[in-house]
Chain A
Amino acid sequence: MKKIKLLSAMLLAGSLFISCSDDDDSTPAIVNEEELITTVKVTLSPEGDGADITLQLQDLDGDGSDKPVYTVSGSLAANTVYDGSIVLLNETESPAENITLEVEEEGDEHQFFYTVGTGLDLTTEYADLDEDGNPLGIEFTVTTGEASTGTLTFTLRHEPKKPNDDTLNDAGGETDVEASFDIEIE
Chain B
Amino acid sequence: MYMLLYAISMLLFGSISPISQDCDNTLSGTVIDLHDSSVLSGALLIVAGTEQAVQTDVDGNYTITGLCDGTYSIQVSHPYCLTQGYTVKVSGNTSKIFRLEHHLEELNEVTIKGETYQREAKTIFKNKISTEKLEDFSNGSLGDALNSLSGVSSLNTGNAVVKPMIHGLHSSRVVIVNNGVRMEDQEWGAEHAPNIDVNSIGNLTLIKGAGALQYGGDAVGGVIVADALKVPVKDSLYGKTLWNLASNGRGSSVTSQLTKSFQNGWYATAQGTVKRYGDFETPDYVLSNTGIFERSASLHFGLNRFKYGLEGYYSFFKNEIGILRASHLGGASDQLAAINSDRPLVIEDFTYNIAEPRQDVTHHLARLKMFSRFDGLGKLSLQYDFQRNNRLEYDIRVGDDADKASIDLELDTHTVLLDLDSDLTDEINLKTGLMARYQTNFADPTTGIRRLIPDYDKYDLGGYAVADYDMSERLLLEVGARFDYTYMDAFKFYRTSTWESRNYDELYSDIIVEETGNQILTNPQLSFYNASATAGATYSFDDEYKLFFNYSLASRAPNPSELFSEGLHHSASRIEMGDLGFKSEVAHKVAMTFERKNQIFSFSISPFINSINDFIVIEPTSIEQTIRGNFQVWEYRQTDALLLGFDLDASYAFTENLRLDHQFSFVKGYDRSREEPLISMPPVNTKNSVVYQNPKVNNLQLALQSEFVFRQNEFPNNNFEVYIPQTETNEIVDVSTSPDAYHLLNFNSSLDFNISPKSQLTVGFKVTNLLDNSYRNYLNRLRFYADELGRNYLLNLKFNY
Residues of A within 8 A of B (CB): 3, 6-7, 10-11, 13-14, 17-18, 21, 23, 27-35, 37-38, 40, 57, 59-68, 92, 102, 105-106, 109, 115, 117-118, 151, 153, 155, 158-159, 167-169, 172, 174-180
- Per the bound structure, the CA–CA distance linking A155 and B331 in Å amounts to 11
* In-complex Cβ contact of A175 among B333, B442, B517, B523 (8 A): B333
Contacts of B516 in A (CB 8 A): 30
Chain B residue nearest in CB terms to A14: B384
Contacts of B631 in A (CB 8 A): 63
Contacts of B626 in A (CB 8 A): 59, 62-63, 68
Q: Can you list 20 pairs linking A and B with CB atoms under 8 Å apart?
A: A6-B370, A7-B382, A11-B384, A17-B414, A27-B521, A35-B399, A35-B448, A62-B567, A63-B575, A63-B631, A64-B495, A65-B497, A65-B501, A65-B502, A67-B625, A158-B396, A174-B328, A174-B329, A174-B330, A178-B629
Contacts of A106 in B (CB 8 A): 398-399
- Per the bound structure, the CA–CA distance linking A105 and B454 in Å amounts to 34
* In-complex Cβ contact of A172 among B346, B386, B629 (8 A): B346
In the complex, the answer to whether B450 meets A177 with C-beta atoms within 8 Å is no
Chain B residue nearest in CB terms to A119: B728
The 7 closest A-B pairs by CB, nearest first: A175-B330, A34-B448, A153-B725, A64-B495, A178-B629, A65-B501, A66-B497
Q: Apart from A30-B521, A32-B519, A118-B728, what are 12 other A-B pairs with CB-CB below 8 Å?
A: A21-B414, A27-B491, A30-B445, A31-B448, A31-B449, A59-B627, A62-B567, A64-B495, A65-B624, A174-B328, A176-B330, A178-B331
- Per the bound structure, the CA–CA distance linking A62 and B496 in Å amounts to 12
Q: Tell me whether B601 is interfacial, beta carbon within 8 Å.
A: no
Min CB–CB distance A182 → chain B (angstroms): 12
Min CB–CB distance A24 → chain B (angstroms): 12
Q: Tell me whether B345 is interfacial, beta carbon within 8 Å.
A: yes
- Per the bound structure, the CA–CA distance linking A35 and B491 in Å amounts to 23
In the complex, the answer to whether B627 meets A37 with C-beta atoms within 8 Å is yes
Min CB–CB distance B347 → chain A (angstroms): 11
In the complex, the answer to whether B445 meets A117 with C-beta atoms within 8 Å is no
- Per the bound structure, the CA–CA distance linking A117 and B517 in Å amounts to 37
- Per the bound structure, the CA–CA distance linking A23 and B449 in Å amounts to 22
Contacts of B399 in A (CB 8 A): 35, 102, 105-106
In the complex, the answer to whether B448 meets A14 with C-beta atoms within 8 Å is no
Contacts of A3 in B (CB 8 A): 308, 370, 372
Chain A residue nearest in CB terms to B451: A31
* In-complex Cβ contact of A7 among B370, B451, B625, B726 (8 A): B370
Q: Mark B440-454, 1 if CB is under 8 A from A, else 0.
A: 101101011111001
Quick one: which of B473-519 are within 8 Å of A by CB? Answer: 491, 493, 495-498, 500-502, 513-514, 516-519
CB-CB under 8 A for A61 and B330, given A27-B491, A40-B627, A177-B628: no
- Per the bound structure, the CA–CA distance linking A158 and B627 in Å amounts to 14
Q: Tell me whether B416 is interfacial, beta carbon within 8 Å.
A: yes
Q: Tell me whether B281 is interfacial, beta carbon within 8 Å.
A: no
- Per the bound structure, the CA–CA distance linking A102 and B397 in Å amounts to 12
Chain B residue nearest in CB terms to A61: B497
CB-CB under 8 A for A63 and B438, given A27-B514, A34-B401: no
Min CB–CB distance B6 → chain A (angstroms): 24
In the complex, the answer to whether B725 meets A68 with C-beta atoms within 8 Å is no
* In-complex Cβ contact of A61 among B329, B370, B396, B496 (8 A): B496
Chain B residue nearest in CB terms to A117: B728
- Per the bound structure, the CA–CA distance linking A176 and B333 in Å amounts to 11
Min CB–CB distance B365 → chain A (angstroms): 13
Contacts of B661 in A (CB 8 A): none
* In-complex Cβ contact of A92 among B454, B518, B523, B568 (8 A): B518
Min CB–CB distance B384 → chain A (angstroms): 5
Q: Tell me whether B334 is interfacial, beta carbon within 8 Å.
A: yes
Min CB–CB distance A29 → chain B (angstroms): 4
Q: Tell me whether B144 is interfacial, beta carbon within 8 Å.
A: no
Min CB–CB distance A44 → chain B (angstroms): 18
- Per the bound structure, the CA–CA distance linking A67 and B626 in Å amounts to 7
In the complex, the answer to whether A31 meets B329 with C-beta atoms within 8 Å is no
- Per the bound structure, the CA–CA distance linking A155 and B333 in Å amounts to 11
Q: Mark B548-576, 1 if CB is under 8 A from A, else 0.
A: 00000000000000000001100000010
- Per the bound structure, the CA–CA distance linking A28 and B446 in Å amounts to 11
CB-CB under 8 A for A175 and B331, given A14-B384, A35-B397, A63-B626: yes
Chain B residue nearest in CB terms to A159: B396
Q: Tell me whether B671 is interfacial, beta carbon within 8 Å.
A: no
Most buried by A among B334, B398, B500, B521: B398
Q: Mark B706-744, 1 if CB is under 8 A from A, else 0.
A: 000000000000000001011010000000000000000
Q: Tell me whether B412 is interfacial, beta carbon within 8 Å.
A: yes
In the complex, the answer to whether B396 meets A179 with C-beta atoms within 8 Å is no
Min CB–CB distance A22 → chain B (angstroms): 8
CB-CB under 8 A for A168 and B493, given A63-B575, A106-B398: no
- Per the bound structure, the CA–CA distance linking A172 and B726 in Å amounts to 13
Q: Mark B338-358, 1 if CB is under 8 A from A, else 0.
A: 000000011000000000000
CB-CB under 8 A for A178 and B398, given A18-B414, A65-B624: no
- Per the bound structure, the CA–CA distance linking A6 and B370 in Å amounts to 9
